[in-house]
Amino acid sequence: MLAFEKKLLRAIRHWDCGSEKVLLAVSGGADSVAMLRGMAAIASKAEISLEVAHFNHWVRAQAASDQEWVGELCSKLRLRFWTNSVRNMDDQVGHVQKDEASLRTMRYQFLIEKAQAADCQSICVAHHAEDQVETVLHHLIRGTSLRGMQGIPPDRVLERGIVLRRPLLNFSRQEILDYLQELGQKYRHDVTNDDPNYTRNRIRQELIPLLQTYNANFSEHLIGLTNQIAEAHTFHLDLVRAALKEAVLSNQADHVRILIEPICNLPEFLQREFFVELWAQQSWPRQKMTSDDWDRLKNMLTQNEGSLKLSASIIVVRRAQMIVIERET
Answer yes or no: is pLDDT of 95 > 70: no
pLDDT by residue (tens digit) across 52-67?
A: 999 987 767 788 899 9
Q: Which of 98-102, 118-122, 309-313 has the lowest mean pLDDT?
A: 98-102
Do 283 and 210 share a structural domain?
no
Higher pLDDT, 298 or 91: 298
Q: Which of 76-80, 93-97, 203-207, 297-301 has the lowest mean pLDDT?
A: 93-97
Q: How far apart are CA 71 and CA 243, in angstroms?
A: 48
Residues 112-116: what's their mean pLDDT?
95
Answer yes or no: is pLDDT of 134 > 80: yes
Do 36 and 174 share a structural domain?
yes
Domain residue limits at 307: 236-327
Do 255 and 208 share a structural domain?
no
Do 201 and 271 share a structural domain?
no
Whether residue 226 lies inside any domain: the answer is no
Answer yes or no: is pLDDT of 112 > 80: yes
The pLDDT of residue 170 is 94
Separation in Å, CA 174 to CA 162, 303, 328: 30, 54, 48
Helices (H), 196-320: 199-202, 208-214, 218-247, 261-264, 268-282, 291-299
Contact by Cβ (8 Å): 24, 50:
yes
Whether residue 228 lies inside any domain: the answer is no
Do 80 and 173 share a structural domain?
yes
Answer yes or no: is pLDDT of 326 > 80: yes
Residues 136-160: what's their mean pLDDT?
88
- CATH code where residue 263 lies: 3.30.465.60
Global model pTM greater than 0.85: no
Whether residue 231 lies inside any domain: the answer is no
Average pLDDT, the chain: 90
Answer yes or no: is pLDDT of 305 > 80: yes
Interior angle at CA 211, CA 187 and CA 189, nearest 5? 15
Q: Which of 95-104, 120-129, 243-252 has the lowest mean pLDDT?
A: 95-104
Answer yes or no: is pLDDT of 103 > 90: no
Answer yes or no: is pLDDT of 98 > 60: no
Do 247 and 192 share a structural domain?
no
The pLDDT of residue 94 is 43
Whether residue 19 lies inside any domain: the answer is yes
Higher pLDDT, 229 or 288: 229
Which among 182, 214, 246 is the end of a domain? 214
Residues 170-180: what's their mean pLDDT?
96
Answer yes or no: is pLDDT of 96 > 50: no
Would you place residue 139 in the very low, low, confident or very high pLDDT band (cuts 50, 70, 90)?
A: very high
Whether residue 288 lies inside any domain: the answer is yes
End-to-end Cα, the chain, rounded Å: 54
Do 273 and 243 share a structural domain?
yes
- CATH code where residue 178 lies: 3.40.50.620
The pLDDT of residue 85 is 60
The pLDDT of residue 84 is 86
Q: Which residues contact 286 (CB under 8 A, 6 or more apart)?
A: 276, 279, 280, 312
Question: How far from the centroid of its chain's Cα atoms is residue 78's Cα?
Answer: 28
DSSP string of 88-152, one letter each residue? -THHHH-S----HHHHHHHHHHHHHHHHHHTT-SEEE----HHHHHHHHHHHHHH---HHHHT-S
Answer yes or no: is pLDDT of 244 > 70: yes
Which of 17, 14, 15, 53 is CA-nearest to residue 35?
Answer: 53
- The domain tally of the chain equals 2
Would you place residue 86 in the very low, low, confident or very high pLDDT band (cuts 50, 70, 90)?
A: low
Do 162 and 20 share a structural domain?
yes
Instruction: Classify strands 155-157 and 163-165 as parallel, antiparallel or unpaired.
Output: antiparallel
Do 276 and 176 share a structural domain?
no
Whether residue 80 lies inside any domain: the answer is yes
Interior angle at CA 312, CA 306 and CA 316, nearest 5? 20
The pLDDT of residue 113 is 94
Do 293 and 181 share a structural domain?
no
Task: Kindly report the backbone phi and psi dihedral angles of residue 251, in degrees, each rounded to the nearest multiple of 5, phi listed first.
Answer: -150, 140
Do 70 and 35 share a structural domain?
yes
Higher pLDDT, 287 or 70: 70
Whether residue 221 lies inside any domain: the answer is no
Would you place residue 99 in the very low, low, confident or very high pLDDT band (cuts 50, 70, 90)?
A: low
Answer yes or no: is pLDDT of 97 > 70: no
Do 25 and 170 share a structural domain?
yes
Higher pLDDT, 151 or 129: 129
Whether residue 101 lies inside any domain: the answer is yes
Answer yes or no: is pLDDT of 51 > 90: yes
